[in-house]
Structure formats: structure tokens, C-alpha cells
């Protein structure tokens, strides 16, 4: 289980302190498919980076399966079972797709096994396995290769920061099926930062972040009507979900 206790994150902007996240308290149970959504600039991606260890909170503590991981590095959190997929995947000149997948598994695998992971994300393995992870690959190709590495790692929790960013519609439609399969096969938790309705529709739970605060969370069937304006917003919410706060 992941637990955030009183998480705040501040940055200095024009000699003033700006609160990006404000006293976030959140518990995520194991083996859940969670989508974090809300207005642009609300703090969603910052929250994901803090969980992964890319950023450190200004205040508060983070617990993973009862262990305080607030001060652990990205590497140590990855070893503990938390993976992070960037909104814009990193390119690695000189490293092949096969090298990257093998590194992700943390053990020696043969080409055939690596090709299985590529096939899972809809890529023709023979066309990609020996290619470098560089600028010759499109955004959609990089995204799917990154997801293949996540599948290879098979961690307890995987965080995707806006996986739909920069990819074509065909790739996005296939990614939906990949996420469903990843959740089903790996039996781990998935957190996706997204606005996309199709991704919201396959979530177990939805978390709403706006103006740096946790505005609401709950099962998909309860949250979707609120998000899309079919019922009144909660009394505790100080802003409409998709309007500027």
C-alpha cells in the first residue's frame, strides 16, 4: 500500500514561495488501477514525481508497504518496486531496444524473450529489437518501447505520466488494451496521470487533484458523473473540476 501523509511541495518563483502541492493525504491500496486527473497545472505530474522520488516534498512523509521511503532515491524506490514512465520517454543514443529491455528485467534474457515484450505492445519485434533508442524513433514508438520495459520490470507499482502525450490515435487506442493487460498480468498497482476519458473509463479508482489539493477520490462509477458534470460537485470542493481555480 502507498500512503502519502501531509505532502506539500513548494517552489521559489520571483522571490516568492509558490505552493504546488498543499497538504495531500492519500492512501492507495495494492493491485488497483488508479487514474489521477484534474485541471492543467493542478499538481498531478508533481505528485507522480514525488511518489517516484524524482522530486522531494517540502513537507510530509511517504510510506510504501509500511516503510518510510521519503528520503529514498529514485533508484532505491525502483528496487523497492515503484516504476515511473516519463511523459516524454528518454532517448538513449548507443543503446539498443534489446539492451534496454534486458536492463529492465535485471537479468540476462535472450532475444526471443525480449521480442515477446515488444509484441505485447504492438511492435514488430524484428523491426525494433536491434534499433537504437534514439531520435529515429517516433513518440508513439518510444512510448510503447518504454511500456515494454515496464512490463519486463514487473514491479508492484507503475506510474505513467500522461502516456497519451505525443502519440497518434492508433497508438493511443492500442495503449488502452496494453494497460488493461498489464494490470491483469502483473497483478500490481498502476497509477496513470491523464485527462483522457477512455483511460478514466478503465480505472478502478479516480483521484481528483486541483490547485495543488486533493479535491475528491473514489470508485470510477462514483467519480465519472462528478468529473463530467452529471451531478453536483462535492460541498468540500472549492472549484469546478475543469475550470480555473
Q: pLDDT by residue (tens digit) across 1-42?
A: 999 999 999 998 887 889 999 999 999 999 999 999 999 999
pLDDT of residue 154: 83
Going along 48-174, which residue ranges are E strands?
A: 59-64, 67-68, 82-85, 92-96, 132-133, 157-161
In tens, the pLDDT along 30-81 reads 999 999 999 999 999 999 999 999 999 999 999 999 999 999 999 999 999 9
Percent of the chain at pLDDT > 70 equals 91
Q: What are phi and psi of 87, to 5 degrees?
A: -60, -40
Contact 35, 224 (CB under 8 A): no
* Mean pLDDT score, 145-154: 86
pLDDT of residue 190 exceeding 50: yes
For strands 16-28 and 189-193, give the pairing: unpaired
| C-alpha cell read off for 204 | 478502478
Amino acid at each position: 500500500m502507498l500512503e502519502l501523509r501531509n505532502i506539500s511541495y513548494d517552489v521559489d518563483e520571483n522571490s516568492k514561495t509558490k505552493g504546488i502541492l498543499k497538504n495531500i493525504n492519500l492512501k492507495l491500496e495494492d493491485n488497483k488501477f488508479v487514474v489521477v486527473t484534474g485541471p492543467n497545472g493542478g499538481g498531478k505530474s508533481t505528485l507522480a514525481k514525488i511518489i517516484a522520488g524524482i522530486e522531494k516534498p517540502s513537507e510530509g512523509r511517504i510510506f510504501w508497504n509500511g516503510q518510510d521511503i521519503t528520503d529514498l532515491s529514485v533508484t532505491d524506490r525502483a528496487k523497492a518496486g515503484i516504476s515511473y514512465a516519463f511523459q516524454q520517454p528518454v532517448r538513449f543514443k548507443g543503446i539498443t531496444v534489446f539492451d534496454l529491455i534486458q536492463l529492465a528485467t535485471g537479468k540476462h534474457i535472450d532475444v526471443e524473450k525480449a521480442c515477446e515484450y515488444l509484441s505485447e505492445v504492438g511492435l514488430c519485434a524484428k523491426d525494433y529489437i536491434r534499433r537504437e533508442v534514439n531520435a529515429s524513433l517516433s513518440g508513439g514508438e518510444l512510448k510503447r518501447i518504454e511500456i515494454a520495459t515496464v512490463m519486463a520490470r514487473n514491479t508492484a507499482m507503475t506510474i505513467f505520466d500522461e502516456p497519451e502525450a505525443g502519440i497518434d490515435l492508433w497508438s493511443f487506442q492500442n495503449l488502452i488494451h496494453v494497460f488493461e493487460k498489464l494490470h491483469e498480468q502483473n497483478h500490481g498497482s498502476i497509477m496513470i496521470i491523464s485527462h483522457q476519458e477512455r483511460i478514466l473509463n478503465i480505472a478502478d479508482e479516480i483521484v481528483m487533484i486541483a490547485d495543488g489539493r486533493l479535491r475528491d477520490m473514489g470508485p470510477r462509477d462514483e467519480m465519472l458523473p462528478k468529473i463530467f458534470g452529471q451531478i453536483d460537485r462535492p460541498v468540500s470542493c472549492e472549484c469546478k473540476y475543469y475550470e480555473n481555480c
